[in-house]
Amino acid sequence: MSPVPEGSASALDRALQRALERELQAAEGAARLLLAKLEREVPAEQERGELRYTRRILARLKGIAELARQLETSARIAEPKLEPLSVGGWVWSAVEQARGQLAPELREDLGFTIDLAEKNTRIGGDLELLEPMLRELLIEAARTAGESGRVRLRGRRQEEAFFHVSLTVQNQSGARLPPLGAERAELCFARARAILEAHGGSAEQGHDEYGRPEVRLRLPSGEREGALR
């Protein structure tokens, strides 16, 4: 049997992932309808097992659907579509998306500080990969900071051919926090590192000079020779 060409295999993987996502969306929609029906019929003080189980099923379906979306993203990471992007447009769009997805208590009390030098600098990147990557990093940073905490994003062109972005997390008391990348955020950071490495950049995590958790991103600038293919 002749081997399947790599490009064809990638296309098949993406098609299968999209089909899986459609099926999961349909299942999630059915679970939502069932949950709404049960909520109308079951008094709040007499919540039955069916209602609890339906909520659990819906939560599981959401988790599986998210994994399916991540699989589709992973399949694309190896072949990013590099285009010149504005640093300012990329960062601010991701920040606004992250704010919109935070829990109300975090959205109201958490502080975001954005410090961008040379915000009109162009980087070479795939916006469909970089934007959700930064959004998810910001959300995990916000969760790490907690209520009344602060997330600081700082961007600088520190090398001729690269633009550096750092995310620093602190809480109100200034107490030392767990490193960003623990537990749920570990997958988020691993995905970010894979995306940036595919772009010719890098990602690191650690602490700043004050012991605050920090993620450092390094992206090729749009002017870098070979950055855009």
Q: Is residue 12 included in any domain, yes or no?
A: yes
Both 190 and 207 in one domain: the answer is yes
pLDDT tens per residue, range 119-153 = 778 888 999 899 999 998 988 888 877 766 788 89
Both 38 and 22 in one domain: the answer is yes
Both 42 and 92 in one domain: the answer is no
Structural contact between residues 128 and 94, judged by C-beta atoms closer than 8 angstroms? no
How does strand 122-125 pair with strand 162-170? unpaired
- Taking the whole predicted model, whether its pTM rises above 0.95 is answered as no
Q: What is the DSSP letter of 178?
A: P
216 band by pLDDT with thresholds 50, 70 and 90: very high
What domain range is 197 assigned to? 83-220
Both 48 and 123 in one domain: the answer is no
Phi and psi for 37 in degrees, rounded to 5? -65, -45
pLDDT tens per residue, range 10-49 = 565 666 667 777 777 777 777 777 777 777 776 665 556 6
Q: Is residue 227 included in any domain, yes or no?
A: no
pLDDT tens per residue, range 61-99 = 777 777 777 777 777 787 888 888 999 999 999 988 988
Q: How far is CA 53 from CA 29, 44, 48, 187, 199, in A?
A: 16, 15, 9, 28, 43
Number of domains in the chain: 2
**Which residues sit opposite 125 in a β-bridge?**
83
Rounded-to-integer distance, Cα 73 and Cα 203, Å: 18
Of the residues 51, 77, 103, the one at which a domain ends: 77
- In sequence order, what are the residues at sequence separation of 6 or more whose Cβ sits closer than 8 angstroms to the Cβ of residue 112? 95, 99, 138, 150, 151, 152, 153
